[in-house]
Structures are given as C-alpha cells and as structure tokens.
Homo-oligomer: A and B are copies of this chain.
C-alpha cells in the first residue's frame, strides 16, 4: 500500500518512549497533556491523532514498558533452571530495574496509579490486571518447579508462596521510591529468600551461604 498524504514529522516510537519517561516520572494523573506535548515536541492534537486519548496512550506506554523494563524479571523466571533460582533472579532483576540511575526508582506497574480520581478507575484496574499477571507468572513458575522436580509442594500452599514473593516485589518498589539503594534492596532480597527453605522444606541454608553467584538476570 502506498503512503498517501503528508508524512509524520515525528517518530511514533520515539514519542512513545518520551511519553513513557514522563508517565514514569509523574504517574498517570500527574502527567498532563500539556506536559506530554511539550516533552514530545508536538501539539496535543497530534498526540490525539496518533495515539488516541490520554488513556490509550498510557496503555501503549505500559505495553512498551512491559517489553523493556519488564522483560529482565520475566526472563529470569523463564530461563533459570530451578524455581528457587528463578525467584531469586527475578527479585534481583527487579531490583536492578528499579534502581537504574537513568530512570525513576520504582515500578510503574505498582506506583503509576494506585489511587486517584474516580474518573480514572479504568486505568487503575488496568494496572491491577497487569499486577495480577505478575502473580500468575510467579505462580506458574513455582508450578513448573513442582513439575520439574526441583521443588516439593510447600506446606503453606503454592499460591501462598507465589503471593508472598509478589508482595515482596511490590514492596521493593516502595522502598526504591523512598531512596533505598541497590545494595539495601539486595539485603531485603536475601531476607526474603531466607524464607524459601523453610517454606519448601528444603534443608536450611544460613544466609551467609546464599548462592550469590546466581546470575541477577
């Protein structure tokens, strides 16, 4: 199909990336269309023409966020050989992502729109759905460990353990937001992994014997 009409003067991918940066810095409601227009270097009408509404833009932004910042933790879950290594590496990859010096120190999934005006209810539930996917992904990885034989059924329940590590991930975001360093997050992760052996009836290992050689991503 031929390209008709006047071509765009801006690159939608670049613009989406710039929109991501702004939404990341200020959250959904904290970012206005004026802010976006200024940051993207185009008029707000062009944003509407290219991306639809503010909410549509935000959803596209979150999709990009998922394939960039969200990928390392997801890959950790996918590629590590055991459930234990996968959870540990996932936590570390998360800590890496939320303490990058060139980006805001928190996960957008968790803090971009937890509360807000009534009219933005749909956006909040959209993010809540993505967070639920997180929980599911962790639960699925534990189930795979069960199938692979590297994990015995935890007495507390597999869902409970999955929700527990999801809770830790989400708590890490608040910690990073409040200025915790990468090293401090690593300590928290060490503590969180200390629960693993008790939860999974594995032989306990003292914290100073933690497998720190595991790849963080």
A48 contacts across to B, CB distance below 8 A: none
Please determine whether B155 and A206 come into contact, CB atoms closer than 8 angstroms.
yes
- Please indicate which of the listed interface residues A160, A161, A199, A201 has the most CB atoms of chain B within 10 Å of its own CB: A160
The answer for the CA separation of A191 and B132 in the assembled complex, in Å, is 19
Q: CA–CA, A187 to B160, complex, Å?
A: 6
CB neighbours of A160 from chain B (8 A): 184, 187-188, 190-191
**A18 surroundings in chain B (CB, below 8 A):** none
Q: For residues 147 through 187 of chain A, which have their beta carbon under 8 Å from a beta carbon of chain B? A: 155-157, 159-161, 163-164, 166-172, 174-175, 177-180, 184, 187
Contact A207 B197 (CB under 8 A): no
Residue A116 at the chain B interface, CB threshold 8 Å? yes
Number of residues from A at the complex interface, CB < 8 A: 57
Interface membership of A26, Cβ < 8 A = yes
Beyond A132-B178, A195-B195, 4 additional pairs, beta carbon < 8 A = A26-B118, A156-B191, A164-B192, A170-B174
* Interface residues, chain A, with chain B CB atoms under 8 Å away: 25-27, 29-32, 106, 110-112, 114-118, 120, 128, 131-132, 155-157, 159-161, 163-164, 166-172, 174-175, 177-180, 184, 187-188, 190-192, 194-195, 197-199, 201, 204, 206-208
